[in-house]
Amino acid sequence: MTQYVGWLRGCGTALVTPFTGTGAVDEKRFRALVERQIAAGVRVLVPCGTTGEAATLTAAELERLIALTVETARGRAKVLAGAGSNATAATIDRARAARAAGADALLLVAPYYNKPTQPGLAAHFRAVAQAVGDSPVVLYNVPGRTASNLAAATTLALAREVENIVGVKEASGDLGQIMAILRDRPAGFRVLSGDDAVTLPLIALGADGIVSVVSNETPDLMTNLTESALRGDWEIARELHYRLLPLMEANFLESNPGPVKAALAAMGLLEEHFRLPLVPVQEQTRDRVRAVLGPLGLLPGAAHVAA
């Protein structure tokens, strides 16, 4: 029977990791970003994922960022911490560290580069879930990043057979696969969109929410969109979807989190620094990002468009 995690719904934000000009984690700006999310109504914070450049963080930095998120949230939001890697033993170490840092649940990306088979993926997630006891585990399927797809049958088997595997963040873009999970999932198993642009249709099909990139820039609007859809207020949700769609699309003109960091820099919320191999976006991308921020009132000196 799936462990029920009632708070795992709505809009969660895949937090960016701000860096200083010397390459260190900018803890002051990170705390400010977390506070901004909470003030806007976000109740699920997701540090150390793809958007947080987790692949370039040391083990100590990852644990510190998760602890910072927990400390800053002070119980006002839950923390779903990224802890995945492409080695099962390393993932277990990261997951245990995230749990020790106070994370409420763990987000585990499918192993990348190795290209495991479906039995290999299943064995990996079973091993990690068993190693962290009753800590809730959310699977993360993003084939565009990992070069392997977590099939619906594998997700469903893990959901049915491993009690503390409580949900999946689905970013495959395969609606047929996601619908199969939604149709056949056990009671209590959460399905979260991993792609802002399909949040509305997936909630209409029964999904429970989103781990969002665009909510870094506009947490209030994305929270309103998600909650409106979950309530069945489709007219409001649809209007917000189309209002935010240009920004959702601009965020992926180049590899995430390039455009979203460019946007946050234009908004005055961080300095636009990355860790190699990521570099700042091209000027045409920067221009497009600014062009879509303007109508939303997100540039300095502009009036913010209320949710």
Q: Report whether pLDDT(159) > 90.
A: yes
What is the mean predicted confidence (pLDDT) over 285-289?
98
Mind listing the pLDDT tens digit for each residue in 22-56? 999 999 999 999 999 999 999 999 999 999 999 99
Distance separating alpha carbons of residues 210 and 252, to the nearest angstrom: 16
User: What's this model's pTM, rounded to 2 decimal places?
Assistant: 0.96
d(CA 80, CA 137): 9
Name 6's Cβ contacts closer than 8 Å, sequence gap at least 6.
none
Output the pLDDT for position 307.
55
Structural domains of the chain sorted by starting position, each given as residue range(s) with its CATH number in brackets: 10-237 (3.20.20.70)
Under the banding of pLDDT at 50, 70 and 90, the label for residue 101 is very high
Catalytic residues: 140, 169
Residues 179-212 have pLDDT tens digits of 999 999 999 999 999 999 999 999 999 999 999 9
Contacts for 21 with CB less than 8 Å, ≥ 6 apart: 271, 273
Total residue count of the chain as it appears in this document: 307
For residue 305, is pLDDT > 70? no
